[in-house]
Structure 1
């Protein structure tokens, strides 16, 4: 079942313009696919000098991972998570704000044990890959 931006905002701690995702088009226990249009927004909080560097796509992916954690956890906001590392990051473009098409953000849970999870991720638009990599997330179960 697709989710809206309002549904996403209930699952992650990011509010207002910092909630970068606009929808969830598909998810299961192992993966999630989200959409975003905020990369073109003039009030995107990640803009620097009017530009949105491609590396900011990691934040889009991290938010998709957080949404996935909430959905896989029964629709509850997950405990606070921290991006512990990003590996094999490949950026095929220099910036995202000049991408005319909507972003598609995909994250696949590769493994998870206890308080750590590893995902692979890809951000694409218009049939082309913009960036990809792997991320390790540490979940702080002691934080509500």
Structure 2
């Protein structure tokens, strides 16, 4: 695999995540009946995913039997990888909601709905990587 392919794949993946998260911010705006800058949310959510995704992958690749190739993940601890990924995404979407919409988590239904839909949307945005359409340097949670 050439480094150019890796760079292109990583930038494409980041672009998919950024635009996808900005699009999902419109859903959050409706859920919370607040108008927030969707691109700001998209950037913050993508950066949060990059930082936590790198940490998550480094941890699992070093301490568990998980292998990362083009796709899909392999190894006997893959189920654990995805379990922690879901937990991480609960944290990520919780932080986005806390920072941009509801600092006290007073609106229980929108908070719960936003986190669940956000997790599902994050996995939808991962489909190109999961099916191996392109290769990336690191996944973005």
TM-score (norm 2): 0.31
From the two aligned structures, give the one with the greater strand fraction: 1
Highest RCO, 1 vs 2 (Cα 8 Å, sep ≥ 6): 2
From the two aligned structures, give the one with the greater helix fraction: 2
Larger Rg: 2
TM-score (norm 1): 0.30
